[in-house]
Amino acid sequence: MARTTTIGVLALQGAFDLHRKALARLGVDYRLVKTAADFAVVDALIIPGGETTTMRWFLKNENLTDDLVRFVNEKPVMGTCAGMILLAKKVAGDIVDDGLGVIDIDVRRNAYGRQVHSHTGEGRIDLGEGPRSFPMVFIRAPRIERVGRDVQILGTCDDEPTMVAAGNVLVMSFHPELSGSDAVHEYFIQTFVKQFDSELPRTPAGGISQ
Amino acid sequence: MNIDDKRKVKIGLAEMLKGGVIMDVTNAEQAKIAEDAGAAAVMALERVPADIRKDGGVARMADPRKIEEIKQAVTIPVMAKCRIGHFAEAQILQAMEVDFIDESEVLTPADEANHVEKDQFTVPFVCGCRNLGEALRRIGEGAAMIRTKGEAGSGNIVEAVRHMRLVHGSIKRLTVLTPEELMAEAKELRAPFELVKWVAKNGKLPVPNFAAGGIATPADASLMMQLGAESVFVGSGIFKSEDPAPRARAIVQATTHYLDFGKLAEISKGLGEAMVGLEIRDIPENELLQVR
């Protein structure tokens, strides 16, 4: 008998608790992921916002980078803010570095400046049912500066891409866990996790044309 | 942004700092050591609490040049302390674009009656508390994060434990009171009624709740996390210990893996001498920082 799908939330540091609560509200099984052993028992992963520097520190110091890379190359993964930075190809800004390169985008860390420049915005998303407005919260946020050819834009704010997807990876520069809506989490589960489970073609629904 | 969106953005950063350790630093070199040890943020101040306690005198906001150097040295958020009620220090810190202001009892209070009106600021504030009433008064003024006061610079965890248990005990009590009992309880707590009702309904504070004041070892961090803290501040505990870097790393790991006792044993090995602690009863009443 197939076991229940369990969604992991990377819980080394950051806003993992709010993602856990969103998953609980949606009635799916979840588990906080802190060690190599945890990766083995989850079917999908959410990498939360938090401090990129601290998360990278844990990945390096606790030898988790290889486990994470293996996982995100195979399984559905959603990254918000710092999570998106980890998964991106090139990272510019106060840290210039390569991300894990799991999705073909370049990002700029803290692109809007320090906390006093954190802001909210009325964004637009298309999760397959046509474009609609969505409140977006940006905290010391990164900006998506380049989107690869095979990457689909699913959300924008002020005419800039803020949510993109390719293959098994969904990333966003804003914080859906602070928006008061579970729509993005639900979309990740319905479109990425379930679709992946049934091995259907892995092209996400929806998209905003550039 | 309207007030709700402003609050969302301020509390948002507090949410991002959860599970991470915020370390007191007095210069760029210490800030770098903290960042390299996995700190999620640094707190810029002139002297760590243990030295403030030892040297006496008026403790103020740090020199803006020092804060600037610390900001240059690291990419993680930089916090800084202002004196209780000293809104001009807070205005200067906001103009310097620090990421968070700690309106802190560790510095010498500037106003014995009033705290800073924090909702007016764009930068988020964290404030200390000893009990639920104090926490809700600070949140009512606009604090985006609460921490226990503990007894800063003592290296003794007993006060932080007392404060965390008091806050959680009072929250639990609110959840079982009947609606008609809440007003009397609000009066007892000397807390805003709307916030008392919110806590009674939700069983938690409306902002993240961290621990501070006396954390000196990985075990101290684990203890506070198990008591319900969502993360920890370490003041004198790191740079007043024998070997700061390994101790800082160990406290970072302990805060994430606070329920993995085998790992805690491993990371607690051979860290050298912790800071010398103080017995709270030996501190004269008028030198206690938490009563400010």
Check CB contact under 8 Å for B5 and A120. Answer: yes
Integer Rg of chain B from CA: 18
Check CB contact under 8 Å for A13 and B20. Answer: yes
Active site annotation includes B81: yes
- CA torsion B87-B88-B91-B95 (nearest 10°) is -160
State whether the Cα torsion A113-A117-A118-A121 is positive or negative. negative
What's the rounded Cα separation, in Å, for the pair A187 and A137?
A: 18
For helices B182-189 and B193-202, the axis angle rounded to 10 degrees is: 110
pTM attached to this predicted model: 0.94
Q: Identify the closest residue of chain B to A119 by CA–CA distance.
A: B9
Residues of chain A with Cβ-Cβ distance to B249 below 8 Å are: 61
What's the rounded Cα separation, in Å, for the pair A8 and A179?
A: 21
At B18, the amino acid letter reads K
Indicate which residue of A19, A51, A74, A81 is catalytic.
Answer: A81
What's the pLDDT score for residue B165?
A: 98
Indicate which residue of B10, B66, B71, B81 is catalytic.
Answer: B81
What's the rounded Cα separation, in Å, for the pair B153 and B142?
A: 26
Which residues have a Cβ under 8 Å from the Cβ of A205 and sit 6 or more positions away?
A127, A128, A191
Check CB contact under 8 Å for A51 and B77. Answer: yes
Q: Candidates 3.30.300.160, 3.30.360.10, 2.60.40.1120, 3.40.50.880; correct CATH number of A6-193?
A: 3.40.50.880
Enter the tokens of residue A141.
């946020």
What's the rounded Cα separation, in Å, for the pair A34 and A26?
A: 22
Indicate which residue of A19, A157, A177, A185 is catalytic.
Answer: A177
Write a three-state SS string for A102-151. Answer: CCCEEEECCCCCCHHHCEEEEEEEECCCCEEEEEEEECCCCEEEEECCCC
pLDDT, tens digit only, all 292 positions of chain B:
888 999 999 999 999 999 999 999 999 999 999 999 999 999 999 988 888 888 888 999 999 999 999 999 999 999 999 999 999 999 999 999 999 999 999 999 999 999 999 999 999 999 999 999 999 999 999 999 999 999 998 989 999 999 999 999 999 999 999 999 999 999 999 999 999 999 999 999 999 999 999 999 999 999 999 999 999 999 899 998 999 999 999 999 999 999 999 999 999 999 988 888 888 888 888 888 898 8
Active site annotation includes A175: yes
Angle at B186 between CA B181 and CA B189, to 5 degrees: 125
Nearest to A120 among B1, B38, B123 (CB): B1
Closest C-alpha among B281, B258, B270 to residue A11: B258
Going from N- to C-terminal start, the domains of chain A cover 6-193
Sheet containing A169-172: which strands, arranged edge to edge? Answer: A29-33, A6-10, A44-47, A77-80, A169-172, A160-166, A152-157, A119-126, A131-138
DSSP B100-123: EEEEETTSPPS-SS----GGG-SS
* Interface predicted TM-score (ipTM) of this complex, two decimals: 0.93
Please measure the distance between the N-terminal and C-terminal CA atoms of chain B and give it in whole angstroms: 33
The mean pLDDT values, 10 residues at a time, for chain A of 210 residues are: 81 97 96 96 97 96 96 96 96 82 95 94 94 96 96 96 97 96 96 70 52
Q: By the 8 A CB rule, do B41 and B77 touch?
A: yes
